[in-house]
Structure 1
Amino acid sequence: MIIVSASDDNFVPGLLNLLYSTLFHNKDAEFYIIDAGLSNANIDLIVNFSNRNKIQSHILLADKSQLDRLPENPYWTSAMYARLLIPQLLPQHSRAIYIDADATVVSDLSELWTMPLDGNLLAGVLDGSVHQEELDHVGMGNDEYINSGVLVFDLALWREEKTAEQVVQYLLRNRELIFPDQSAINATVKGRVKFLDRRWNFFSWKYPEIPAITPTIIHYTGDNKPWKKRRAPLAAIYEAYRKLSGSDFPRPRDLPEFTKARRTVVGLFSLRPKYWKIVYYTARCRSKFTTPHIRQVMARASQLDQAHPRKP
């Protein structure tokens, strides 16, 4: 099973969690990490972390000249374009699962790895939250526009049809995109996508949909990164794997935002449905998914440690 991710220095805490959580549930996983702006210190940290946890990982250097010529964006660094380099960086492989470095894997990925792509260039999950302005720009609807955080690549087809080059040319012609890499990929592979169930790329802020949907991959999209905000949605899941992995990044010490906390308290005492729904959905998610999952993972980790103690 080939798993690819990309990172600069901003996403290293999430990347370590992705590596550990994926291997925890997928012992045959082999990782390729595209270095899209990692310091030497963080490269050493990733290597040492991988060795300590017996993770088979390879760091690949992105061609900075290829990334720098693509449109700049005020919200993301050029690391977002690294996934376009996967077909050329992995010439020996015909398929790969790409997962963003701000995701945590909570179950087996073998179904995702082995599913037929039926001649499609990609498999991905519908995004469903992109502004209409962006959809209009690429000429697509919410029922066909996928999120680029989790993708299954047919690398052989990408190389054969020179798809990455087509995406780059689209980017150079459309520099005003809000989600540059994602929208360019969607526009280029339109009609050649296999749509996946939401559980394969579950946005953490959609936690009210649990347990109707049980996540396989939790994607911490937006600003609520669990290594920055300890109260981010589903941060407890991230924290459980962080503890087990022995990550060098501690739990964040952020304090509750006073204005937000005051608004919530006032809303609850005022019996406003919006705030009581948050309490209800949070409690339901905790009881139906978060707590049982963490207990299961901790119990399994204890058994594994007894059978195969890790090196200090």
Structure 2
Amino acid sequence: MFNILMTTNESYAQHCGVCITSLVENNPDSQFNIVIAGLGLSNLTKNKIIECGSLNDNVKINVIDFNHDKIKSLPETSMYTKDIYLRLWVDDFFDLEVETVLYIDVDAIVVDSISDLFNQELEEYVIAAVDIPFAECEEHCPLPPEFNYFNSGVLLFNLKRWRDEKYRSQIVNYILDNSKSIEYPDQDALNGVLFNKRLKLDYTYNVIGPFFRKNTYEKLGKNEIKRIREQAKIVHFNGVGAKPWFYTSNHPYQKKYFSYLSRTPWQDYRPVDKTFLNFVKKYLRIILNVESFVRVSFVKGS
């Protein structure tokens, strides 16, 4: 049984349903205990989320109402709403006997089996996560030079150490103490506290938007970039222009997002920006070769 955590609010619930659907469809032989921690979800939305796993006997979904009072003292930015903090309460969402939990941002889809991820040896680590290549974080989260800055969109928790060593309290205190300098509140705090207690995961477990843009991360080498794109297991739609639910996005996994969406209760969704003018703009970007995203012909399942 694999334990999964996702967190969402009402506006991102549709993407949560897509993420669940992609996870289940690409791991048909795995059993999942999926906890959705919600902030302000309606009963209708909760039922829709649960419906995403209702036809699979290997999937159990539990939607939990999170108490907003627990995070009222934490800062909210123009880019990030307070539900980003819910992952820090991971130990409250699972039974004491649960030792490993995988957190996935809901603006991501799972495009391959991730069973190997749960074979990671975490005894000496608190979490496992994927680097952001060449991240410049000195101003908002200074780290010792030998450590890299990681993305918090996919986190494998060693829940026993997280609980025993009270890391939630340490991270919340870091956020409050550094509220004027941090740029990505939860991510900066997780890095600031756990930089030397983190197992580095392969890029394929959290392939962020820049990996699919032209002339990005070139220092990694063409072969490595090609490997990461071809062997992607979790595709993370982070960054400006990467959100596939906007018609104007040209992210190479946009069609896969809508394919999974068609098998959720949100199947009738239509992008609000799908207009004739945007159709023309999108088409011209491609034929004039000014589109920043690469075209990927080897997308899994396409």
- The verdict on a shared fold, with TM-score over 0.5 as the criterion, is yes
Query: 1:226 and 2:241 equivalent?
Result: no
Q: Give aligned pairs, total.
A: 279
**What secondary structure sits across from 2:157 in the alignment?**
strand
Report the CA distance between 1:143 and its aligned residue: 5.3
2-structure distance, mates of 1:77, 1:221:
15
Q: Contact 2:48–2:265 (CA<8 Å) still a contact in 1? A: no
Question: 2 CA distance for matches of 1:29 and 1:251?
Answer: 30
Distance 2:179 2:79 in 1: 14
The one-letter code matched in structure 2 to 1:231 is S
1:37 aligns with 2:40: yes
Aligned-pair distance for 1:42?
A: 1.0
Contact 2:37 2:66 in 1 (8 A): yes
Q: 1:2 aligns to what?
A: 3
Q: CA deviation at 1:47?
A: 2.4
Q: Is the 8 A contact 2:38 2:64 kept in 1?
A: yes
Match of 2:118 in 1: 113
Contact 2:7/2:105 (8 A) holds in 1 = yes
User: What CA deviation, in whole Å up to 9, does each residue of 1:28-70 have, x standing for no partner?
Assistant: 1220101123122211221233324554101122221111111
3-state SS, counterpart of residue 150 of structure 1:
strand
Highest Rg: 1 or 2? 1
For 1:235-274, list aligned pairs within 5 A: 235-245=254-264, 247-252=266-271, 254-255=274-275, 257=278, 264=285, 268=288
Aligned to 2:301, the other structure's residue is in SS state helix
CA contact (8 A) 1:127 1:142 kept: no
**RMSD between superposed Cα atoms in Å:** 2.6
- 1-side partners of 2:198 and 2:64: how far apart? 27
Q: Which runs of 5+ in 2 are unaligned?
A: 214-221
Q: 1:76 aligns with which of 71, 74, 80?
A: 80
Under a length normalisation based on structure 2, what TM-score does the superposition of the two structures give?
0.83
Query: Residues of 1 paired with 2:11 and 2:67: CA distance?
Result: 19
The 2-side partners of 1:144 and 1:278 are apart by: 26
Task: Report whether the alignment pairs 1:85 with 2:89.
Answer: yes
Change (3 A) 1:246 1:59: closer
C-alpha separation in 2, matches of 1:102 and 1:146: 17
- The separation in 2 between residues aligned to 1:102 and 1:166, in whole angstroms, is 27
Residue 135 of structure 1 contacts residue 142 of structure 1 at CA under 8 Å; is this kept in 2? no
Q: Percent of counterpart pairs with the same letter?
A: 26
Q: What's the CA shift for 1:155? A: 0.6
Aligned counterpart, 1:155: 159
The TM-score, its normalising length taken from structure 1, stands at 0.80
Secondary structure at the counterpart of residue 294 of structure 1: coil
Offset at residue 90 of structure 1 (A)? 1.6
String of CA shifts for 1:284-310, please: whole Å, max 9, x gaps.
Answer: x1x2x22xx224xxxxxxxxxxxxxxx
Tell me how far apart the structure 2 counterparts of residues 180 and 220 of structure 1 sit (CA, whole Å).
Answer: 19
CA distance in structure 2 between the aligned counterparts of 1:51 and 1:127, rounded to whole angstroms: 35
Asked if 1:25 is matched to 2:29, the reply is: no
**Shift in CA distance, 205/257, structure 1 to aligned 2, threshold 3 Å:** farther
Q: Distance in 2 between matches of 1:262 and 1:51?
A: 39
Post-superposition offset of 1:170: 0.6
Displacement of 1:100 in angstroms is 0.4
Partner of 1:215: 232
Provide Cα deviations, 1:104-158, integer angstroms capped at 9, x if missing partner. 001111110121124111100012375x3x4333222595111000000001001
Decide which structure has greater helix share. 1
Partner of 1:197: 202
- The CA deviation at 1:246 is 5.6
> Aligned partners of 1:142, 1:237: CA distance in 2, in Å?
37
Moved more, 206-215 or 95-104: 206-215
Structure 1 portions without partners, runs of 5+? 269-274, 296-312
CA contact (8 A) 2:109 2:235 kept: yes
Q: 1:294 corresponds to which letter in structure 2? A: G
> What is the SS of the residue equivalent to 1:124?
strand
